[in-house]
Amino acid sequence: MTRIDFKALRWLLPYFAATPGLWIAAALATVVSSFTDPMLPALMKQLLDRGFDTSGFAIWTVPAAVLTLFAVRGTAGFLADLALARITQDGLLTMRRDMFARLLDARFGLFREQNATSLSNTVVYEVQNGATMLTNAVIAFLKDALTAIALLGYLIYLNWKLTLIVFVIVPGVAFIMRTLSKRLYKLARSTQTSVNDLAYVVEENVLAVRVVRLHGAQEAQMQRFTGLSAILRRLSLKSAAASAAITPLTHMLAAAALSAVICIALWQSQGNSGLTVGGFAAFISALLMLIAPIKKLSEAASPIARGLAAVQRGIDLIEGTPAETQGSHDPGRARGLIELTDVSVVYAEDNAPALDRVSLCIEPGQIVALVGPSGSGKTTLANLLPRFVLPTSGVVNMDGHDIADWKLDALRRQFALVSQDVVMFNDTLANNIAMGRPLDPQRLADCVEAANLQDLVAGLPQGLNTVTGHNATALSGGQRQRLAIARALYKDAPVLILDEATSALDTASERLVQQALQRLMAGRTTLIIAHRLSTIEHADRVVVLDHGRIAESGGHRELLERGGLYAKLHALQFGGT
C-alpha cells in the first residue's frame, strides 16, 4: 500500500466527510457495480458447461441477462460518480473558503514568505487538482478493491487450490507500489514548487514588461524562464518514468501468475480433477478480469501521492499560518490619542533597526508631520499604527490602550490611509471609494469633489460607475492618488495617515487637495509623511526621523531656527531660503 500521511487525511476528513450519506451512496453504488463483474464469467460458465444446449431456457434470456447486468452496472457507476463529484465539490468549496479566509486574516509574514503567484496557485489550482485526484482515487480504490474481492471470491469458489497462485501477485504489487509511490510523492512536491516558480517569472514579466523591453533584458529573462522550464521538464519526465514503470511491472507479475495457472490447470485436468471446460474458461476469464483492478490498485498510489502533495500546500496554508493576534477592546470611535513608548522595529535579525526606541505622543486632533531622509523609518512608523508592522519591543497605545489589546477591526476602523503605493480593485470607481461600505451618493459626491476628482468623473461616460480596470492603470498617477484620497475621505476615520499622499499631484491640484485635506483634518489626528516640505507647513508639529531615531521635533519655525537636520533638509529643497 502507498505511504499515506494520516495526519493530512485526518485533517481532510471534516471537509470531505461532512455528508456521510453521500459516501454511503457512493460506496453502495460501487459495491453494486463491483459485484456485477464476476457475473459475466459466471454466465459464460453456464453456457459453456451446457455445451450451448438451450433446452433448459429461452434464448432471449441470455441477451436480456447481459443487458440487465450492464444496465445495473452502468446506473450504479453513474450514481457513484455523481455522489463523488458532490463530495469533492462540497469539500472544495469549504476548503477554498477557509484558505481565502486565512489569506484575509493571516499575519503579514505570510506575504513576505510567499509571493502572490504561489498563493493564488495554491488556493485556485493545487487544491482543486489535489482534492479531485484524492476523492477519485479513494472511490476508484474502493471500487477496484471490491471488484478484486468479488472476482477473487468467485475464483476461490471455482477452484481454491488454483487461486492460491493469485496470492503471488499481491505482495509483489504491494512492493512495487510502495517503492514507486514514495518517489512519486517527492517528485510531485518538487514539481509544484517548479510550477510556482515558472508562473512567478511569467507574472513578473507581465508586470515589468516595460522595464524589460527598455533595458533589453529579454535574453536574461528568457534564460531564466528556460532554466526553470527545463527543471520542470526533468521532474515531469522522472515522474512519468516512475508512473510508466508500474504498469509493465504489474503486468509481468500477472503474466507469470497466469502462466502458472494455465500449467497447473492443464496438469490437473489430466488427473481428472473435475475441472470442466466451462469452469476452466470461467476461471481464466475471471483471472484476466482480475488483472485490471489489480493494476489500477497499483496505480492508485500515484494519484493519491500527487493529490496529497497538492492538498498539503492547502493544509500548510490553513493550519501552518497563524492568524493575526488581537484583543477585544472596542470602544467605538476613538478620540485619536496616539502614544509610542520606546518602540523599536527590527525587520531582519542582522539589519539595523528600522525604528530605534522611538517615543512619541500625538494628541487628538493634532497634525504631526513626519519628515526625514529616505529609509529613516517614516513608513514603518505609520504602518505600526494599524498593526501592519508589529513592534519588536515597546508599546503603541491608542486612547490609552495598547493597540495589541484592541479588536483588529475596531482598531483599523480608526485609520484612513493614503500611502505611497495606491492599490485599486478592478471594480467601479464608486466601489473603489466606498470599499465595501454602503454607497451614499451624496457623500460620494462630496468626497469626489474634495479630492478634486469631479472633472475626471464628469468626463467618464458612466461617471462613478465606470470600472477602473486592473489596478486602475488606465488612470494617471495623480488621478489614482486622488482616488485614494477620496477613499480615505469616505472612510471618515478619526485618524488620518498620509504617506506621501500628495507626491503625484501637480502644483495646481495639490493646492486644491491641500485645502480639502485641511478641511478634513480639522478635528482629526493626522500623521503626514512628506518629502516635499512645502506640504507640511501647516502641521502643528514636525518630527524629524533619522536612521530610525527621532532627531528633533517641534514647530516648523522653531526647527528652522534651531538649524538642525530639518533646517538642512529645508535648505536643500528651497535653495537656502
Ligand X SMILES: Nc1ncnc2c1ncn2[C@@H]1O[C@H](COP(=O)(O)OP(=O)(O)OP(=O)(O)O)[C@@H](O)[C@H]1O
Q: How far apart are CA 302 and CA 2, in angstroms?
A: 9
376 binds ligand X (CB under 6 A): yes
Residue from 311, 354, 362, 472 that binds ligand X (CB under 6 A)?
A: 354
Q: How far apart are CA 511 and CA 530, in angstroms?
A: 15
Three-state SS for 167? helix
Please state the closest distance from residue 347 (CB atom) to ligand X, in A: 3
Residue from 58, 206, 214, 348 that binds ligand X (CB under 6 A)?
A: 348
Give Cβ neighbours of residue 385 (< 8 Å, ≥ 6 apart): 338, 396, 398, 403, 415, 495, 497, 527
* Residue among 158 and 355 whose Cβ is closer to Mg ion: 355
379 binds Mg ion (CB under 5 A): yes
Three-state SS for 53? coil
**Under rule CB under 6 A, how many of the chain's residues touch ligand X?**
11
Piece of 94-102, 177-185, 268-276, 369-377 that binds ligand X (CB under 6 A): 369-377
Please state the closest distance from residue 570 (CB atom) to ligand X, in A: 16
Partner touching 424 among ligand X, Mg ion, none, CB below 5 to 8 Å by kind? none
Residue from 45, 143, 378, 541 that binds ligand X (CB under 6 A)?
A: 378
The β-bridge partners of 369 are 528, 542
Q: How far apart are CA 171 and CA 179, in angstroms?
A: 12
380 binds ligand X (CB under 6 A): yes
Please state the closest distance from residue 378 (CB atom) to ligand X, in A: 3
Give Cβ neighbours of residue 220 (< 8 Å, ≥ 6 apart): none
Please state the closest distance from residue 358 (CB atom) to ligand X, in A: 11
Q: Are strands 541-546 and 367-371 parallel, antiparallel or unpaired?
A: parallel
Residue from 327, 331, 365, 375 that binds ligand X (CB under 6 A)?
A: 375
CB atoms within 10 A of CB 301: 30
Strand ranges of the sheet holding 525-529, from the earlier edge strand across to the other edge: 415-418, 495-499, 525-529, 367-371, 541-546, 549-554
* Residue among 270 and 374 whose Cβ is closer to ligand X: 374
Q: How far apart are CA 454 and CA 448, in angstroms?
A: 6
463 binds ligand X (CB under 6 A): no
374 binds ligand X (CB under 6 A): yes
State which H helix or E strand residue 234 sits in.
helix 218-270
The residue type at 49: D
377 binds ligand X (CB under 6 A): yes
Please state the closest distance from residue 374 (CB atom) to ligand X, in A: 3
Piece of 134-142, 160-168, 370-378, 535-543 that binds ligand X (CB under 6 A): 370-378
350 binds ligand X (CB under 6 A): no
Residues that bind Mg ion (CB under 5 A): 379
Where does this chain bind ligand X (CB under 6 A)? 347-348, 354, 372, 374-380
